Amino acid sequence: MDLYFDNNATTPLSDAVKKAMIDAMSYYANPSSPYQLSRIPREIVENAHKQCADLLGTQPNNIVITSGGTESNNLAIKSILSLYAECDWKSIHVISTSIEHPSILEILYFFEKKGLQLTLLSPSSEGIIDVADIEAKIQPNTKLISMMAINNETGAIQDYARVARLAYEKGIFFHIDAVQAVGKIKIELNKLPGVSTLSFSGHKFNGPKGIGGLFVAENISLTPLLHGGGQEKGLRSGTENTIGLAGLAIAAQEANSQLISRYQHYLQLRNRLLEKLSLLSVQYDVNGSKNPEYQAAWTINLSFKNIRAESLASRLNLLHGISLSLGSACSNNKESHRSYVLLSMGLSNEQIDGAVRISLGNKTTIDEIDILANAIHLEISHLLSLSGRATETY
């Protein structure tokens, strides 16, 4: 039996999404063509915009379809900074955080090498960025604030609504990386006028990989990364991926209709796992916010004392068919290093080395949680016995 607990990395397609994508394969005409054969492909494109807009609480014309979060983040930040391309980069100031996704940080580091003045704020020990710290760092030349809505490693939920109000008051562009939030929590962009751009990715909420989007506020003018036929209002040229868009539309529709029930399900699973581990006398620390209002229920980052996380994860995978993560899947192909997110939170090397991320899906069951808890207990017991620490309380 394969048990999947890495839904922050990617999620399985729902049955309805699979069906929509298979059905869309029959409609091969180019959506941009003027003849009747293109009518249904064009409707697929339009419906994807509508369903994503409904999910975000905005209008379809504010949605630009992209290949996913990384492209959306690049389109947003590079477009905003390109407004100042004729300026001395040393005169431009940007505020972000030390716990952002690499698709944000690498862009900012790129411009920092050109002279951009970059301030990266560190979170609290619970992974939360203090909005007062953001306000205190604003300078007369601050042009952009970029912050993720929910951290992919810890599930810490940032107060992006307050930051949006602050950015609106100060007249500063505000980009939200909402890849881990869209389809999981209610987002109402029509009530957040301070948000300039917001990125999302379909495969994080049971849609297909390679398709996502960017919300762009009415008053924002972006510069395309890709030039060509002028699709997506000229911001993302290239023939539309109607198969992916068909799946994205259904995934957005399902997520929107099930937001509350899914969150309640995640909360039930989370509580069950932590209670079960405690009953089994497994010693752990939760890395994230202790305030449920600022903690995504589906993300559980745990540090186990005197345990190497890679050893635990390997044994869980090989012996129990359990898939979970040591951190962000987007960094796993790089040279091994400790999580910069957990380092920024002030965790010790021992705590980081013993940390695993368990991320739940809407199809995860209570029985699977019980199997996971029992397997963790069994393998930690084994690893401690190998290290000669079996008699210690853990």
> In this predicted model, what pLDDT tens digit does every residue of 158-202 receive, in sequence order?
999 999 999 999 999 999 999 999 999 999 999 999 999 999 999
pLDDT (0 to 100) of residue 354: 97
pLDDT (0 to 100) of residue 333: 47
**With helix as H, strand as E and coil as C, how does the chain read?**
CCEECECCCCCCCCHHHHHHHHHHCCCCCCCCCCCHHHHHHHHHHHHHHHHHHHHHCCCHHHEEEECCHHHHHHHHHHHHHHCCCCCCHHHCEEEEECCCCHHHHHHHHHHHHCCCEEEEECCCCCCCCCHHHHHHHCCCCEEEEEEECECCCCCEECCHHHHHHHHHHHCCEEEEECCCCCCCCCCCHHHCCCCCEEEEEHHHHCCCCCCEEEEECCCCCCCCCCCCCCCCCCCCCCCCCHHHHHHHHHHHHHHHHCHHHHHHHHHHHHHHHHHHHHHCCCCEEECCCCCHHHECCCEEEEEECCCCHHHHHHHHHHHHCEECECCCHHHCCCCCCCCHHHHHCCCCHHHHHCEEEEECCCCCCHHHHHHHHHHHHHHHHHHHHHCCCCCCCC
The reported pTM is: 0.94
| Active-site hit among 286, 329, 330, 343 | 330
For residues 199 and 272, state if they share a domain: no
* Final residue before a domain boundary, out of 219, 254, 289: 254
For residues 183 and 62, state if they share a domain: yes
* Final residue before a domain boundary, out of 221, 254, 287: 254
Residues 52, 182: Cα–Cα separation, whole Å: 9
Phi, psi of 304 (to 5 degrees): -110, 130
- Answer yes or no: 330 catalytic: yes
CATH no. for residue 283?
3.90.1150.10
pLDDT (0 to 100) of residue 327: 63
For residues 111 and 85, state if they share a domain: yes
- Which regions in the chain score pLDDT beneath 70? 327-336, 389-394
Residues 52, 61: Cα–Cα separation, whole Å: 11
Residue 170 belongs to a domain: yes
For residues 293 and 183, state if they share a domain: no
Residue 250 belongs to a domain: yes
In total, the chain counts a number of residues equal to 394
Ramachandran category for residue 214: left, alpha or beta (phi over 0 → left; psi -120 to 50 → alpha): beta
Whose CA is closest to 202, among 182, 175, 177?
182
* Final residue before a domain boundary, out of 254, 289, 311: 254
pLDDT (0 to 100) of residue 224: 83
For residues 86 and 150, state if they share a domain: yes
pLDDT (0 to 100) of residue 19: 98
pLDDT (0 to 100) of residue 63: 98
CATH no. for residue 79?
3.40.640.10
pLDDT (0 to 100) of residue 230: 84
For residues 37 and 101, state if they share a domain: yes
The string of pLDDT tens digits covering residues 76-106 is: 999 999 999 888 899 999 999 999 999 999 9
Residue 225 belongs to a domain: yes
Residue 235 belongs to a domain: yes
For residues 231 and 266, state if they share a domain: no
Residues 299, 312: Cα–Cα separation, whole Å: 18
Domain that holds residue 140: 15-254
Q: In the chain, how many domains are there?
A: 2
pLDDT (0 to 100) of residue 200: 98
pLDDT (0 to 100) of residue 336: 55
